[in-house]
Structure 1
Amino acid sequence: MLQDSHAFGGFSVDDVAAARAFYADTLGLRVTEENGMLTLHLAGEGGERPTLVYPKPNHEPASFTILNFPVDDIEAAVDELTAKGVIFETYAGTPMETDAKGVFRKGGPLIAWFTDPARNVLAVIEAPGPG
């Protein structure tokens, strides 16, 4: 029944205008707005993968990574986003300990976490591009 459905994900924010500015201007994503909600137009295998961003007055940020952005070069991505004002999370003394730039380098792919204006967790992750 649902196997042919074009399912999509979504998440809440407490300020749609701040989210729009962050996702469009800071991250450079294509963003549209309709009925007070945003759609992030993300690339995906086989075409676009829309992601809904909706307002929620009692929003609580996700405590897990809601979006991972694969990049070819994590150093370049972290430097570019930092120059645009993105602040990367640093975790010390935990299994997910990061370096001063916010990059986790202790096994698995290189990854760096940051938050949107609603404090939802996002990440850039070094992964090979489509092939």
Structure 2
Amino acid sequence: MLKDLSVAAVLPASDISRARDFYRDKLGLEPDNPEATDNLMYKCGNGTAFMIYQTPNAGTAKNTQMGWQVADLDQEMADLKSRGVVFEEYDFPGLKTENGVATMPDGERGSWFLDSEGNILSIATMP
């Protein structure tokens, strides 16, 4: 029943104004509700969307909270780096990044970065 429906992510922000600036300046995204003061709605490709809402709980998750699938990881990383995005380096069992990129056994490549609120975001290619 849910498998044919669109999904949307919900991300916390302790400072909604700072988050708006990050998503605009670093990721090139503008909210669909620019007049809002307690939540921001963003639409992305293929009918997907995400919301950022004001809460003191922001930045407490230690897992990837949202990600984008990209055709060219290296190009997307270069674009984001040129806007000041810093990619994380990880060295966990089964996941090690080199220059911010992890390559999975199935060929998927991914990178992670933090938004202004401490949320872990990713970009990844699919094999």
Identify the TM-score tier after normalising by the shorter chain.
Answer: 0.7 to 0.9
Provide the C-alpha distance between the structure 2 equivalents of 1:95 and 1:82, rounded to a whole number of angstroms: 26
The alignment-based identity, stated in percent, is 28
Q: Which residue of 2 aligns with 1:27?
A: 27
Paired AA for residue 20 in structure 1: R
Structure 2: 5+ residue stretches without partners? none
Q: Taking structure 1 as reference, are residues 38 and 91 closer, same or farther at Cα in structure 2, changes over 3 Å only?
A: same
How well do the aligned residues superpose, as a CA RMSD in angstroms? 2.5
State yes or no: 1:13 paired with 2:51. no
**1:40 counterpart = 2:61:** no
More strand by share: 1
Q: Distance in 1 between matches of 2:73 and 2:121?
A: 14
What SS does the aligned partner of 2:48 have? strand
Counterpart CA distance in 2 for 1:97 and 1:5 is: 33
Residues 2 and 98 of structure 1: CA distance in aligned 2, closer, same or farther (over 3 Å)? closer
Contact 1:27 1:81 in 2 (8 A): yes
Normalised by the length of structure 1, the TM-score is: 0.80
Aligned length: 124
Q: Give 3-state SS (helix, strand or coil) of 1:113's partner.
A: strand
Bigger mean CA deviation after superposition, 2-11 or 22-31: 2-11
Quote the offset at 1:3 in angstroms: 8.8
Cα separation, partners in 2 of 1:122 and 1:60, compared to 1, 3 Å: closer
Match 2:101 to one of 86, 103, 111: 103
CA 97–53 in structure 1, closer or farther in 2 if over 3 Å, else same: same
Instruction: Determine the C-alpha separation between the residues in 2 that align with 1:3 and 1:72.
Output: 24
Deviation at 1:75, TM superposition (A): 0.9
TM-score (norm 2): 0.82
